[in-house]
């Protein structure tokens, strides 16, 4: 309970920190409006040019919903606290995270949560506006059961990405410069998470690779659930996959964390 209060205050502080530069916040919203609109136009153009109403089993309406919801979800998992950790390792400020009455990782995750909420707000506003305009035309409805499954899956997806980010952050304890690693991870992420191009457009072999990697569990699965692509058992197996990754990544992260703390405290950083 008391830990939760510290956690939320940490998140709140990071969230508030986002609003430092008002012009930045305004620009952020604008930038995201473009970021969501561009794929919307691209898909419309593609569908228009092909003359088909259904491509790879998906209608243009479904594609548009996909863009809206996937962009919103991406915002939620966009916190990059691995580089925050890296930065603090380099400057030694990390020491202050180790002299608090709450665990250091809780501070990292709390800050990440605040950043995510801020990004969600930035993206959420234009996404909601676009949705309000588009949904009535497309005609889309979500049953309460699917909504509930979607929310559960979204939360699990958030946990997957957070644990993954922690894992990345641990590397900062060893390599100090995680820039290259970040770059690689982002590449994988773009390619294999389904964040930019839905996985249903991929050839089978690439989809098979994506399926055995954790990236899609972070948020592609929630999007699939939202779109109603999966039946109910399919939804539960998606949740199972997410849980599986949470456990696996957590164990890896825990092992690395212990070695990292050992390095910091015993070997001396």
Contacts with ligand ATP by CB under 6 A lie at: 268-269
List, in sequence order, every beta strand (DSSP E) within 29-151.
54-55, 58-59
From another protein, ligand ATP, none, which one binds at residue 78 (CB under 5 to 8 Å depending on kind)? none
Could you tell me if residue 92 is left (phi over 0), alpha (psi between -120 and 50 degrees) or otherwise beta? left
- Whole-number Å distance between alpha carbons of 125 and 256: 38
**With contacts defined by CB under 8 A, how many residues of the chain interact with another protein?**
33
Q: Which of residues 101-160 bind another protein (CB under 8 A)?
A: 101-103
From ligand ATP, another protein, none, which one binds at residue 265 (CB under 5 to 8 Å depending on kind)? another protein
3-state secondary structure of 56: coil
- Whole-number Å distance between alpha carbons of 52 and 137: 18
- Extract long-range pairs of 90-97: CB within 8 Å, 24+ residues apart: 90/176, 92/269, 94/264
Is 5 near another protein (CB under 8 A)?
yes
Closest contact distance (angstroms) between CB of 92 and another protein is 6
Contact range with another protein by CB under 8 A, out of 87-95, 179-187, 193-201, 234-242:
87-95
Is 93 near another protein (CB under 8 A)?
yes
The 226-265 contact track toward another protein, x by CB under 8 A, reads ------------------------------x--xx---xx
3-state secondary structure of 59: strand
- Whole-number Å distance between alpha carbons of 166 and 256: 10
**Interaction site with another protein (CB under 8 A):** 2, 5-6, 9-10, 13, 16-17, 20, 91-93, 95-96, 98-103, 170-171, 173-175, 256, 259-260, 264-268
């Amino acid at each position: 309970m008391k830990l939760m209060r510290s956690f939320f205050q940490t998140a709140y502080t990071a969230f508030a920190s986002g609003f430092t530069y008002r012009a930045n916040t305004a620009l952020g919203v604008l930038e995201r409006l473009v970021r969501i609109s561009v794929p919307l136009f691209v898909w419309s153009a593609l569908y228009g040019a092909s003359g088909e109403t259904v491509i790879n089993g998906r209608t243009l309406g479904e594609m548009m919903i996909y863009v809206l919801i996937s962009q919103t979800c991406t915002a939620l998992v966009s916190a990059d606290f691995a580089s925050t950790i890296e930065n603090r390792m380099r400057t030694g400020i990390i020491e202050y995270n180790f002299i608090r009455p709450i665990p250091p990782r809780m501070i990292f995750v709390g800050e990440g949560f605040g950043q995510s909420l801020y990004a969600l707000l930035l993206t959420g506003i234009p996404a909601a506006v676009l949705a309000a305009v588009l949904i009535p035309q497309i005609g889309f409805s979500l049953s309460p059961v699917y909504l509930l499954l979607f929310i559960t899956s979204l939360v699990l997806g958030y946990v997957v990405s957070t644990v993954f980010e922690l894992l990345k952050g641990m590397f900062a304890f060893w390599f100090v410069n995680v820039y290259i690693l970040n770059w690689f991870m982002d590449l994988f992420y773009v390619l294999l998470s389904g964040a930019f191009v839905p996985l249903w457009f991929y050839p089978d072999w690439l989809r098979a690779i994506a399926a055995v990697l954790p990236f899609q569990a972070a948020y592609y699965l929630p999007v699939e659930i939202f779109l109603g692509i999966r039946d109910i058992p399919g939804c539960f197996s998606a949740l199972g996959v997410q849980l599986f990754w949470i456990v696996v990544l957590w164990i890896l992260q825990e092992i690395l964390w212990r070695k990292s703390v050992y390095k910091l405290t015993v070997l001396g950083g």
